[in-house]
């Protein structure tokens, strides 16, 4: 079964992205190690980091018209910062992988089974 790991943290409390190459590489190292472990185990199916919520545009409908709003739909304490898609035999295996995610040091992981509609 495929599972979606939604990675949440408070953007104001998340580690700052370094502007120099060496600092950025050091910040990404635990993520690279984690992604490589998922890949080597054969469970990695996809995933990406997201730009901050300040780069988001939210669409809604008001009186039949589409309304565009800069930023996220709701003000929340934590923001979605990225995701992984993994294929695991069962929820326990998926939870085991999610518990090893680097975001667990300052945020949380929501694990959601993906419906197979095909």
Domain range summary for the chain, segments of one domain joined by +: 2-113
pLDDT at 74: 63
Report the chain's mean pLDDT, rounded to a whole number.
92
Asked if residue 43 lies in contact with residue 86, where contact means CB atoms within 8 angstroms, the answer is yes
Regarding beta strands 57-62 and 79-87, do their DSSP bridges make them parallel or antiparallel, or are they unpaired? unpaired
Nearest to 80 by CA among 32, 14, 2: 14
**Does the pLDDT value for residue 4 go beyond 80?**
yes
How many helices (H) and strands (E) the chain has is answered by 2, 6
Give per-residue pLDDT as tens, 38-83.
Answer: 999 999 999 999 998 889 998 889 999 999 988 766 667 889 999 9
pLDDT at 72: 66
Contacts of residue 38, Cβ cutoff 8 Å, sequence gap at least 6 = 44, 84, 86, 97
Nearest to 86 by CA among 78, 76, 74, 98: 98
Rounded to 10 degrees, the C-alpha dihedral 32/1/51/21 comes to 10
CATH number assigned to the domain with residue range 2-113, chosen from the 4 options 3.30.70.1060, 3.40.50.720, 3.40.50.850, 3.10.20.30:
3.30.70.1060
Nearest to 52 by CA among 70, 27, 29, 30: 70
102-117 mean pLDDT = 95
């Amino acid at each position: 079964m495929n599972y979606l790991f939604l990675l949440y943290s408070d953007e104001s409390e998340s580690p700052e992205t370094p502007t120099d190459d060496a600092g950025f590489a050091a910040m990404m190292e635990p993520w690279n190690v984690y992604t490589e472990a998922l890949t080597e185990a054969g469970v990695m199916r996809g995933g990406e980091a997201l730009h901050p919520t300040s780069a988001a545009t939210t669409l809604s409908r008001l009186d039949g018209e589409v309304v565009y709003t800069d930023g996220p739909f709701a003000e929340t304490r934590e923001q979605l910062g990225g995701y992984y898609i993994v294929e695991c035999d069962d929820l326990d295996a998926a939870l085991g992988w999610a518990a090893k995610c680097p975001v667990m040091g300052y945020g949380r992981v929501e694990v959601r089974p993906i419906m197979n509609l095909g």
